[in-house]
Each structure stands twice: as structure tokens, then as C-alpha cells.
Amino acid sequence: MEQNQVDPQAEKTLNLYQKISEVMRRVKYLKKDGFISFKSTRYSYLSEEKMTQEIRRHLLDLGLIILPVNMDFQINNQVTTVNMKYKIIDVQTGEYEVINVGGQGSDSQDKGIAKAMTMAYKYMQRQAFAIPTGDDPDHICSDELDEMGVNQPQTPNPERVRLENEINAMLMDLSMRGVDINLLHHECMKAVKPFQFFNELTDEELRRVYEIVKAA
């Protein structure tokens, strides 16, 4: 039997917290697999993909699942903040534990919520299973945000903010229902003009995009 495995018969007698402890025992450390370089800023980080790949196989072995059960979000300029609630559930007994965690993502179109949710999910796993990785500022540095103008004081048009927030919320809902967001983006570009970010659109073009997404 491999060292990082437990007896299948013994697994049946483990409760939820013992199974969480077993994941901690198996995953002692995860090496960072990404690197950020922006001007004078240099640092490594652990990607959500590597974290999830490693944790997932142990969850399957032990009969655990993790489900998102609630989310609140706020969008301030190009920074999206989410507050997520997850359940770690023992599929054999139905026993569960709730974990609350926040996350932030920077994007000026439809990916802000997805980026924030990705960060939240990564840190939920890291904290729930006490996985050491070292400091992890995560993918985009504050110097880069300054360069993008994200951290600069702005007075956005309230109507544009409302439309952008509603579009982002609708896109998130559509994505969760299996709609191909990339195809929808192409449809919007055909109707207005090629664009990557909402701030490239005029007010009229943004309203047109809103109507297309609303009708999807």
C-alpha cells in the first residue's frame, strides 16, 4: 500500500473531520508553479489549477465533495470582490462543514467575478487543509494595477456602473447555466464593434451590449 493512502476499510469509519485531517496528512506542501514579472516586481505563486488537481484526487479517494452554496459580490471600478460560502460534505454520511472565504479579481469586462471566485476557491482549499506554500500575493501585483489605473481615484458614471454590474451578474448566471460566454462576446462585437473591455464602449454601445446579454 502506498504511504499516502489509508486502508479502504478504515476509510469507512472516518468521520468528516478525520477525513479533512487525512487530506492534511497527505498534502504536506505544494510547490509554487507560476511566476509574475512586472517591471521591478518578481514573485512566484501557486496556481489554482495545481492546487485543485492535487486536492481533488484526495477528495475522491476519501468521499468528500466541495460545493459553492452562496456568493455575494461587489464591483468597484475594475476590481471585483466576492464573499463565498462553501460546504465540505462527506458523501457517505451527509455530514458537512461550512467555510466562508473572500476573493478579489481585476478585470474590466466579464472575467472579474470568475477571477475573484477562482482566488476564493484556491484560498479556501489552502486554508481548510492547512497547505503551506509561502507568501502568495497572487497573479497580479499592485504596481501593475497602478499602471492600469485601477488603483487611481475615479468618479465613474453611475449609469455605466449599474449597466456593467448588471452585465457581469447576467454573464455569471449564464456561465453557470452552461452558456458559452465567448460566443456571446462575439455576438456583442458583431452588433457594436470589436472590444475587450467595457471602457472601450460608448454609453450607447454599452446599452446595446446590455440588451444582447439580457436577451441571451
pLDDT > 90: percent of the chain: 25
- Residue 119: pLDDT over 80: yes
- Residue 87: pLDDT over 70: yes
For domain 1-151, give the CATH number.
Answer: 3.30.390
pLDDT in tens, 146-180: 554 544 444 557 888 888 888 888 887 777 777 77
pLDDT in tens, 22-32: 999 998 877 76
pLDDT at residue 72, as a whole number: 86
Domain spans of the chain, in order of start? 1-151, 155-216
Mean pLDDT of the chain: 78
- Residue 187: pLDDT over 60: yes
pLDDT at residue 136, as a whole number: 47
* Most confident residue range from 6-20, 57-71, 73-87: 57-71
Cα dihedral 98→99→100→102 (10° resolution): -150
> What does the block give as the cell for 115?
477571477
* CA atoms within 13 Å, Cβ hemisphere of 126: 24
pLDDT at residue 94, as a whole number: 94
CA distance 106 to 111: 8
- Measured CA to CA in angstroms, residue 191 lies from 32, 85, 125, 173, 187 at distances of 42, 37, 41, 22, 6
Q: pLDDT: is 182 or 63 the higher one?
A: 63
pLDDT at residue 126, as a whole number: 87
